[in-house]
Structure 1
Amino acid sequence: MAILRAHDVSQLTDVELQEQMGKLRMELVQHYGKVSAGGATENPGHIRELRRTIARLMTEKNRRSRV
């Protein structure tokens, strides 16, 4: 999954925002599952980027709900 920047997130519709958040959360759960099973991820920095992208999506969602 591609990492979305703030500019990209602001251009998404509400439906796309929810879809992207769901996909990213599932990918994050898969990475956490792999790590908890004793394995190592190919790219540990990817987990951090996933968490940040989810935060960007949540921030945009909250910003839209306040307006």
Structure 2
Amino acid sequence: MKTKEIRKMDKKDLGKRLSELRLELMKEVGNVKRGRPIKNPGKIRVIKKSIARILTVKNQPGGEKK
């Protein structure tokens, strides 16, 4: 997910997408810990980066000028 796409989303969608990504991350990490083979090993990294991007956009001030 690109940062531009994330900035266009409203707060409800951001929260929903964040919870979906966290659930997906838990499933992927769980599969790794159980020793199951992974189809795409880079997927965990991409999910973590997407979560970080969403949290960064959520915590930024909403374009307010001083």
Scaled by the length of structure 1, the TM-score of the pair is: 0.88
Kindly indicate whether residue 40 of structure 2 is the aligned counterpart of residue 43 of structure 1: yes
After superposition, the CA RMSD in angstroms is 1.6
Greater Cα radius of gyration, structure 1 or 2? 2
Structure 1 stretches lacking a partner, 5+ long:
none
Residue number in structure 2 paired with 1:52: 49
Offset at residue 40 of structure 1 (A) = 2.1
Question: How many residues were matched structurally?
Answer: 64
Counterpart AA for 2:59: N
Pair 41,47 (structure 1): closer, same or farther in 2 beyond 3 Å: same
Runs of 4+ in 1 over 3 A off after TM superposition: none
Percentage identity across aligned positions?
30
Kindly indicate whether residue 30 of structure 2 is the aligned counterpart of residue 33 of structure 1: yes
